[in-house]
Amino acid sequence: MKYEQSQSMKKVQYHSNQSGFSSMEVLLSATVFTLLVSALIGVYLYGEESTSLAGSRARATMLAKEGVEAVRNIRDAGFINIPDGTYGLSTAGNQWNLNGSSDVSDIFTRSITIKTDAANKKSITSSVAWQQNAQRAGSVEIVTRLNNWIRAGIGDWSIPIQQASINIPGNNDGIKIQVENNFIYMIRNGGVPNFIIIDVSNPGAPFITGFLALAGIPTNIIVSGNHAYVSNINNTEEMQIIDITNKAAPVVVGVFNAVGNADGRGVYILGNNAYLTRLSSVDNEFIIIDVSVPNLPVLTGSVNLNANGNEVVISGNYAYVATSDNIQEMKVVDIANPGAPFVAAGLNLPGNNDALTVTLANTKVYLGQGNNLYVGDVANPLLPNVNGVVGVGGLLNDIAISLGNSDTYAYVATSENAREFKVIDVSIPAAPAILGFVNMVGNNILSGIAYDTVLDRAFGASNSNTEEFVIFAPQ
């Protein structure tokens, strides 16, 4: 042991003599220590920076959110206020405005992009960009979708009211009516005028902008683009084409003289073809007319229905005609070849009353027969069938469908004196039900009805001598 100890003592002494080694050790340990401490400090410094960056990001998110909220408020004042584009925000006039293409606050630059997704639907992208530090840029993006919920079409039609009316000079009856882009096109069964254009952009105060005196007695009307097409009983003008570009001065530009003298009853337009149906005669009741040149309508094809063709609608390769036939109140005409249309199928409704009117929405067909409204399915046009029926209390003269509200409402014009106008809930095709009605002043017959999704108003044509034109509104 002693020997060993003295040996180790010797060793220690020997080592301590080499002082250079000790400084190296100190330097080494100091370096290691410095590295460790630097790493530790780095952690804290970077930690501090990232806390700060996180704060900036949070505030950038708030600014992006502000962009979305501001656009929401601008939208609340009217969907028209948010046109597509890229904008910044300004508070000029102490209200939110879209201004320029971006706006800067503090270190943040914000831009808002508005894009149309679908009709009445827009997506709003609010993005904020900033420089986090010399090397890194940051950005935050918030996307939301705004709908034009203010858009009419969601009114309560269970208690409709008569909002306004117009007394058209003379005592002739309003027959049919069409609405397009805030203008009403109405026909009467005679008198001057018998074709009237009414501005209804403000449904509370409609006014006549123009009119015409058509030859004969108009029976039905359809509007497409700059032209109105009117079916007529006139023996040389079964269909009249009216240029309605100038709402103050409509003008007849073309007439079509069908073979024979049967009265024109229904008219529809799709593409370059007009479809005319007539009262029964030896001549063909269903006629296809090429109207690509409005002042020179040309017969394309026709087929005999062996019954009155009262009204017609077209979808795809098929025409659906409301007829007086007792076993085929609705006839389906194949028009795939316009030169040679043929009756492809029919739908028999109970009883022998004539189907007077027909309207189509997607795969459902709405037929007015006698006092009943029938909801039919034409998903397979060759196998039409009846889903449901509801009595409307009087002769059903015309039907309009609200396409803008999930096809849930049918607006009908009837001859029931106490409830001329009715709203029918057809959301369940098997069980249509009367939702609301309006009793016009006096005992009238409401012959024509039209509905506008944007305005959420129904427009009626009646035989009243003081209010031939009426506007119905939801509450």
Q: Show the DSSP H helices in 162-304 as ranges.
A: none
Minimum distance between the CB of residue 315 and other proteins, rounded to whole angstroms? 37
In whole angstroms, what is the distance from residue 394 CA to residue 243 CA?
35
**Measured over all CA atoms, what is the biggest interatomic distance in the chain, rounded to whole angstroms?**
145
CB of 116 to other proteins, least distance (A): 21
Please, which residue, 33 or 342, has the CB nearer to other proteins?
Answer: 33
Q: How far is the CB of 14 from other proteins (least distance, A)?
A: 13
- In the complex, least distance from residue 16 CB atom to other proteins, rounded to whole angstroms: 9
- Min CB(404)–other proteins separation in Å: 19
- Residues forming a β-bridge with 362: none
Place of tokens 């023996």: 235
User: Facing residues of 262 across strands?
Assistant: none
| 175 alpha carbon, distance to own chain's centre | 27
Give least dist CB 111 to other proteins, A. Answer: 16
Q: Smaller CB distance to other proteins: residue 35 or 418?
A: 35
Q: What angle do CA 228, 230, 236 make, to 5 degrees?
A: 130
Taking the least distance from each CB to other proteins, the nearer of 14 and 282 is 14
Cα dist. 452→5, 38, 314 in Å? 112, 74, 19
Rounded to the nearest 10 degrees, what angle do helices 19-76 and 2-17 cross at? 70
What's the CA gap between 418 and 32, in Å, rounded? 101
Pick 53 or 259: Cβ nearer other proteins: 53
Rounded to a whole number of angstroms, the minimum distance from the CB of residue 51 to other proteins is: 5
d(CA 325, CA 45): 91
Of 28 and 298, which has the nearer Cβ to other proteins? 28
| Residue type, position 118, single letter | A
Q: Give yes or no for a cis peptide into 193 (omega within 30° of 0).
A: yes
CB closer to other proteins out of 131 and 362: 131
Chain contacts with other proteins (rule: CB under 8 A): 19, 22-23, 26-27, 30, 33-34, 37-38, 40-41, 44-45, 47-48, 51-52, 54-55, 58-59, 62-63, 65-66, 69-70, 72-74, 76-77, 81, 91, 93-96, 105-106, 149
Task: Print burial letters for 88-101: b (CB count within 10 Å at least 16), e (below 16).
Answer: bbeeeeeebebeee
CB closer to other proteins out of 69 and 283 = 69
